[in-house]
């Protein structure tokens, strides 16, 4: 089944649309009365999108949703997704792929904040950049993302992989400040630069292939090790938090 949703122009284009109903399962099970919210107004899906559905599906994994047009203010697409595929051809709004447990989301443009928040499984690939709190947790939660893979080909914002508790996060560009802060388990890979990586971590593993600026001063230096033939410094910490995490860093600078 192929579902094409084309975003219509709106009178107030900046007002966010909350569309947690846009998940493959909804279309697999039938969508007679699917609604989305513009602020406090509940609207039929057709008022925001031109909807076209082709073909049938035997299982949720055979459903593919394609989102066309300016979807940069459409929030919560793919929330609780448990199979199938979502392909976003432009940018996507906040909370894309919240709590998803299976399936795949591909974003050709940029993703706004909280991409893959508290994700449990499945795969998100973002070809542009991601906002703050990419693959992070919710306010006050001890554990954030617990499984699956988030891969961002551009840069990621601040607090990337905050409270990471499983799964893997790969940022091909740079990550913002405090990436991997309070992480507990799982694996974070940053190909570019970041700052204050993995502050207060208690467990898990992180690789930074660029430079960590303002390195947290409470990581114990274990020594030099080779990663793919290149020299890296291995750290253990965060000692301030009785942490047992491992950090492999190509270059680092303290704020001294």
Partner 1 sequence: MKINDVVCPFCGCLCDDLEITVEHNRIVAVDNGCTLANAKFMSKEQLASPIRRTGEGWENISYDEAIQYTVDMLLDADRPLLYGWSGTHGEAQCIGVHVSELVGGIIDSTTSVCHGPSILAIQEVGHPGCTLGRVKNRADVVIYWGCNPLEAHPRHMSRYTTYADGYFLQNAFRERKVIVVDVRETETARVADEFIRIKEGGDYAVLSALRAIVRGKGDVVPESVAGVSRSQLERIVTLCKDAKFGAIFFGLGLTMTRGKYKNVRNAIELVDELSRHTKFTITPMRGHWNVYGSNEVFTWMTGYPYAIDFCRGIAFYNPGETSAIDLLARKECDACLIIGSDPGAHFPRGCVEHLAEIPTVVIDPVPTMTTALADVQIPVAVSGIDADGTAYRMDGVPIRVRKVIEPTLPNDREVLKSIHAKMKEAKGQ
What token pair was written down for 206? 């992180």
Give yes or no for residue 216 binding partner 1 (CB under 8 A).
yes
Stretch of 1-9, 51-59, 81-89, 239-247 lying at the interface with partner 1 (CB under 8 A): 239-247
Give yes or no for residue 252 binding partner 1 (CB under 8 A).
no
Which one, of 205, 245, 206, 248, lies nearest residue 226 by Cα? 248
Whether 1 contacts 65, CB under 8 Å: no
Give yes or no for residue 35 binding partner 1 (CB under 8 A).
no
Residue in 4, 101, 218, 251 binding partner 1, rule: CB under 8 A = 218
> Which 51-70 residues touch partner 1, going by CB under 8 A?
none
| CB 136, min distance to partner 1, A | 11
Coil, strand or helix at 150: strand
Distance CA 86, CA 104 (A): 6
Question: How far does CA 60 lie from the centroid of its chain?
Answer: 22
Give yes or no for residue 226 binding partner 1 (CB under 8 A).
no
CA angle 107, 97, 157 (to 5 degrees): 70
Give yes or no for residue 39 binding partner 1 (CB under 8 A).
yes
Distance CA 151, CA 145 (A): 13
Stretch of 50-58, 80-88, 121-129, 138-146 lying at the interface with partner 1 (CB under 8 A): 138-146
Half-sphere exposure of 105 (CA within 13 A, CB side): 39
Which one, of 252, 154, 169, lies nearest residue 204 by Cα? 169
| Residue nearer to partner 1 on the CB measure, 85 or 146 | 146
Whether 126 contacts 149, CB under 8 Å: no
Stretch of 49-57, 103-111, 122-130, 173-181 lying at the interface with partner 1 (CB under 8 A): 173-181
Binding pattern for the stretch 89-108 against partner 1, x by CB under 8 A and - elsewhere: -----x--------------
Residues that bind partner 1 (CB under 8 A): 12, 14-16, 18, 37-41, 73, 94, 113-114, 132-133, 138-140, 142, 177-178, 181-182, 196, 199-200, 214, 216-221, 237-242, 254-256
């Amino acid at each position: 089944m192929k579902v094409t949703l084309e975003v219509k122009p709106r009178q107030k284009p900046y007002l966010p649309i909350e569309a947690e109903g846009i998940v493959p399962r909804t279309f697999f099970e039938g969508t007679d009365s699917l609604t989305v919210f513009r602020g406090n107004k509940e609207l039929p899906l057709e008022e925001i999108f031109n909807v076209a559905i082709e073909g049938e599906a035997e299982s949720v994994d055979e459903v593919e949703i394609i989102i066309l047009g300016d979807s940069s203010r459409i929030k919560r697409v793919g929330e609780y997704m448990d199979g199938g595929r979502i392909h976003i051809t432009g940018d996507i709004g906040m909370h894309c792929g919240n709590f998803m447990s299976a399936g795949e989301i591909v974003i050709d443009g940029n993703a706004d904040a909280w991409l893959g928040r508290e994700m449990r499984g499945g795969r998100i690939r973002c070809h542009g950049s991601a906002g703050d709190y990419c693959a992070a947790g919710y306010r006050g939660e001890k554990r954030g993302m617990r499984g699956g893979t988030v891969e961002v080909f551009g840069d990621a914002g601040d607090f990337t992989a905050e409270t990471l508790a499983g799964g893997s996060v790969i940022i091909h560009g740079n990550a913002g400040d405090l990436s991997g802060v309070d992480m507990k388990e799982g694996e974070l890979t940053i190909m570019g630069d970041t700052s204050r990586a993995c502050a207060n971590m208690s467990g898990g593993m992180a690789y930074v292939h660029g430079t960590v600026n303002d390195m947290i001063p409470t990581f114990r230096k274990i020594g030099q090790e080779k990663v793919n033939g290149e020299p890296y410094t291995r750290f253990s910490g965060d000692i301030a938090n009785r942490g047992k995490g491992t950090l492999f860093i190509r270059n680092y600078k303290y704020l001294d």
